[in-house]
Amino acid sequence: MTYQCFSLTIENKVAHLVLNRPQAMNTMHPLMWRELTEIVTMLQRTAPARALLISSTGKHFTAGMALDVFGSDPDSGIALNDGNAGGRANIVPQLDDMQRAFTAIERLRMPVIAAIHGGCIGGGVDMVSACDIRLASADAFFCIQEINIGMTADLGTLQRLPKLIPEGIVHEMAYTGRRLPAQRALAVGLVNEVFESQEALLAAALQMANEIAEKPPVAIWGSKQAIHYARDHSTQDALQQMGWLQSGIWQTSNLVEAFTAKQQGRKPQFDDLPPLHSFEEAKYTLK
């Protein structure tokens, strides 16, 4: 499949999604949203990979939303009508539609690694906040740009960032629009590691993705589910959920394979997650 805003490759069970419009600083717009949703949905349903790496091209990871996206003409972008109550009410489902693309990244059955270089601005922060792991090059910076253009960030940044970094840092970024440089992002825990160059960043991100891809996918999926549930619930609720989760995904054969492979000096081989089948697409003949 050929995309206009991305390139996608899958090798050794690692999917690599690249924002691929460097001449436009990888800005975000409706076509980009449609392609992202299509790609993430495919990865979720068919499970052709065990890890997803998201990287970018050009000077910046992404400069955020394209300036011409919002306006009064619905044929040229997204028209948000604040002139009457009905128009303002319609903003809710429009935002929900946009938020779902990044939520789909968060809910993928595989871990998602973001390799960030240059500017990660506006909607870029929304995107990488939904990823599991963030790595950065030394020239990377993060900016909640929305406040600089007179609006509140609304696609996930203000909901996810406070669960990733100290709330005071989120307040500072959200109120001032200041840039958070890579080294400070590392210090506050937004990124796991900072690399001197984009090349070193990509190499490390791919190495991590390949390491994840060698682990049992069902156990990786279970770990992701448990971590996300614990983030949003009490410890006692999360422990109870862990019992139910483990009872559903426990697989003795994975332990046997791991021990056997170690004894034999080889890499273990684990089953892929099976594809998902959509109910609405099921073949059914009316009787």
User: Which residues make beta-bridge pairs with 11?
Assistant: 14
The residue assigned the tokens 């939904």 is: 130
Q: Based on the fold, state whether residues 43 and 90 are members of the same structural domain.
A: yes
CATH number for the domain spanning 255: value is: 1.10.12.10
The reply to whether the predicted model has a pTM over 0.75 is: yes
Q: Based on the fold, state whether residues 209 and 221 are members of the same structural domain.
A: no
pLDDT along the chain (287 residues), means of 10: 95 98 96 96 97 98 88 61 84 90 97 98 98 98 96 96 98 98 98 98 98 97 98 98 96 95 96 91 87
Contact 119, 58 (CB under 8 A): no
Contact 220, 249 (CB under 8 A): no
Q: Is residue 180 part of a domain?
A: yes
d(CA 144, CA 164): 15
Overall size of the chain counted in residues: 287
Q: Is residue 1 part of a domain?
A: no
Nearest Cα residue to 271 out of 214, 222, 217? 217
Q: Based on the fold, state whether residues 90 and 181 are members of the same structural domain.
A: yes
Please state, as a whole number, how many other Cβ atoms lie within 10 Å of the Cβ of residue 98.
21
Q: Based on the fold, state whether residues 49 and 166 are members of the same structural domain.
A: yes
Please state, as a whole number, how many other Cβ atoms lie within 10 Å of the Cβ of residue 196.
10
> Which pLDDT belongs to residue 279?
86
Contact 53, 209 (CB under 8 A): yes
Q: Is residue 287 part of a domain?
A: no
> Which pLDDT belongs to residue 76?
56
Q: Based on the fold, state whether residues 161 and 230 are members of the same structural domain.
A: no
Domain that holds residue 27: 6-213
Q: Is residue 286 part of a domain?
A: no
What's the number of domains the chain is made of? 2
d(CA 185, CA 207): 22
d(CA 77, CA 7): 23
Q: Based on the fold, state whether residues 194 and 252 are members of the same structural domain.
A: no
Q: Based on the fold, state whether residues 152 and 183 are members of the same structural domain.
A: yes
Token pair recorded at residue 68: 């011409």
Of 196, 213, 230, the last residue of a domain is 213
> Which pLDDT belongs to residue 257?
96
User: Which residues make beta-bridge pairs with 136?
Assistant: 116, 194
